[in-house]
A and B are shown apart, each in its own frame.
Chain A
Amino acid sequence: DAGVTQSPTHLIKTRGQQVTLRCSPKSGHDTVSWYQQALGQGPQFIFQYYEEEERQRGNFPDRFSGHQFPNYSSELNVNALLLGDSALYLCASTPRAQETQYFGPGTRLLVL
């Protein structure tokens, strides 16, 4: 059984560009959450998607947006990239009717 998968593993962008990160949840999981983890810090909640809708959002600007598809996979989009957006972006999926979140390996984004 594959775990949570994310793509790409690494990405380098320049300021002002836009980026799309992708996540496939574990089989049987219907909820996807996205987190940003700066170097040496704990993950910070960006938003959570359930039934193709954004269910809850953390303290991130509108430059951060997302989408969930009918197969429960998800995308995170970040517009107008800033240097401070450089971080590890983590996706976590949750089994149906449970609350435990299982994390993927992350996408390392570097903004130059």
Chain B
Amino acid sequence: QQQVKQSPQSLIVQKGGISIINCAYENTAFDYFPWYQQFPGKGPALLIAIRPDVSEKKEGRFTISFNKSAKQFSLHIMDSQPGDSATYFCAASGAGAGSYQLTFGKGTKLSVIP
């Protein structure tokens, strides 16, 4: 059972555009939602994370929007750059409910073209 569904599978955006990646979750015990960026041959690197008591969090060009009632959250990358080309994963965990594991989406391969 996939508990975190991520879309789209791949995304092509022009330089300077906005990249939007969406995730939906099923387990209401999840209370921590990080996004990771992964380049080929490397481990995932934490980008930004949010908790359900906040509807939006911004760090530089990266923004997470969170909709608790819809059980959805999304990553927006403003002014996308070719260096942002990577695979992005949303994830969720519920440490508050005793579940420490991160459950990942299947990933979105972002390509930013000049």
Q: How far is A68 from B90 in the complex, measured between Cα atoms in Å?
A: 28
CA distance A45 to B95 in the complex (A): 14
Residue of A nearest to B43 (CB): A103
Interface residues, chain B, CB within 8 Å of chain A?
6, 32, 34, 36, 42-46, 49, 89, 91, 93, 95, 99-107
Bound state CA distance, A61 and B102, in angstroms?
19
| Number of interface residues, chain A, beta carbon within 8 A | 24
Q: How many angstroms between the C-alpha atoms of A102 and B91 in the bound complex?
A: 13
**Cβ contact within 8 Å between A105 and B107:** no
Instruction: Verify if A33 is at the interface (C-beta below 8 Å from B).
Output: yes
Distance of A102 Cα from B47 Cα, bound (Å): 11
Residues of chain A within 8 A (CB-CB) of B32 are 99
Residues in B whose Cβ lies below 8 Å from that of A105: 42-43
* Contacts A45-B103, A99-B32 known; 13 new A-B pairs at CB < 8 A: A33-B101, A40-B107, A41-B106, A41-B107, A42-B104, A42-B106, A43-B89, A44-B104, A92-B102, A99-B93, A99-B95, A100-B49, A103-B46
